[in-house]
A = this chain, B = another copy of it.
Amino acid sequence: MERLSVSTRKRREMVEITSLVAKTAKGSGVQEGCCLVFVPHTTCGLTINENADPSVSDDILRTLEKLVPARGDYRHTEGNSDAHVASTLVGHSVLVPIHKGNLVLGTWQGIFLCEFDGPRNRQVWIKMLPSIQDQPVEL
């Protein structure tokens, strides 16, 4: 399992990690299968969305902030309840197909770490799940 580091710079931010994940997946040598991308945190998440126009990420973050305001009637006393809730709405992992040795995504898709309580240093775990037919048995 690969454990990568990603630094975030703002409290709420979407950081694209597509090339980092693609490079790690390629380096694994897995030809067919899937790649699990997982964050071991509870105040950030992972999503897939458009990476061509950065205003899409802005709209996602701003909508989440409206739905789950930073200040609200929360019981958790650390001041980051919104970040916990947003991470559950977005999710903590994405699973992406590997085909012919490469991560395959749609034309407009990128993988983003969604920071909801930064800036922080975050870990991104990558676990390859090879399909069996791609692994010749050497006798």
Q: Is the interface of A mostly helix, strand, loop or mixed?
A: mixed
Assess whether B129 is in contact with A131, with CB atoms less than 8 Å apart.
yes
A97 within 8 A of B: yes
Assess whether A42 is in contact with B76, with CB atoms less than 8 Å apart.
no
Closest Cβ of chain B: how far from A58's Cβ, in Å?
5
Assess whether B56 is in contact with A109, with CB atoms less than 8 Å apart.
no
Check A1/B97 contact, CB under 8 A, given A59-B81, A84-B56, A89-B89.
yes
Assess whether A75 is in contact with B59, with CB atoms less than 8 Å apart.
yes
Closest Cβ of chain B: how far from A36's Cβ, in Å?
6
Number of this chain's copies in the assembly equals 3
Check A93/B95 contact, CB under 8 A, given A42-B108, A75-B58, A77-B55.
yes
A contact set with B: CB distance below 8 Å: 1, 32-34, 36, 38-42, 47-50, 53, 55-56, 58-60, 62-64, 67-68, 72-78, 81, 84-85, 87-97, 99, 104-109, 123, 125, 127-133, 135, 137, 139
Q: Which residues of B contact A40 (CB under 8 A)?
A: 104-107, 109
Determine which of B32, B38, B94, B104 lies in contact with A92 in the assembled complex, contact meaning CB atoms within 8 Å.
B94
Closest Cβ of chain B: how far from A70's Cβ, in Å?
12
